[in-house]
Structure 1
Amino acid sequence: MFLPFCAPPSAESRRQYQRYKLEMMKSWRDSLETRLAALNAAISTVEQQVSQEGE
């Protein structure tokens, strides 16, 4: 006798999990891209300030 929670996942539940995982990873990527853009802008600003001080 097999218990229901021991049964292998159905193809549909696996697809749903894969979709969920894809959306989660895309969300992480978008968040990281936003943070990277902010960091690049901060670096650029500091570089400009350093070059202006050297003049």
Structure 2
Amino acid sequence: MTSKACIDFGTIEARRLRIHKRKMAMLTFIRDGLERRIASVNASIEKLQEQIKRDESLPTE
């Protein structure tokens, strides 16, 4: 006996397509988070480089 929930999945191709779309959404979500973290690290690096240049240009006593 097959339950109605199992029948509603449709064809194998349709099920595979849904799985691939779900996987794509998950990977895109992960990538977006990583891009935000990389942007944050890049901004920190740029700010530190600015501070180093500023400190190097100060006259020493």
TM-score, normalised by the number of residues in structure 1: 0.79
**1:3 paired residue number:** none
Match of 1:19 among 21, 33, 55: 21
**Match of 1:54, as an amino acid?**
E
**Share of identical aligned residues, percent?**
28
Larger radius of gyration: 2
Flag the structure with more relative contact order, 1 or 2, with Cα contacts below 8 A and sequence separation at least 6. 2
| Residue segments in structure 2 that go unaligned for 5+ positions in a row | 1-10
| Residue segments in structure 1 that go unaligned for 5+ positions in a row | 1-8
What is the rounded CA distance, in whole Å, between the counterparts of 2:39 and 2:23 in structure 1? 24
**1:28 paired residue number:** 30
**2:50 paired residue number:** 48
TM-score, normalised by the number of residues in structure 2: 0.71
Q: Alignment RMSD, CA only?
A: 1.3
Q: Structure 1 residue runs of 4+, over 6 Å off?
A: none
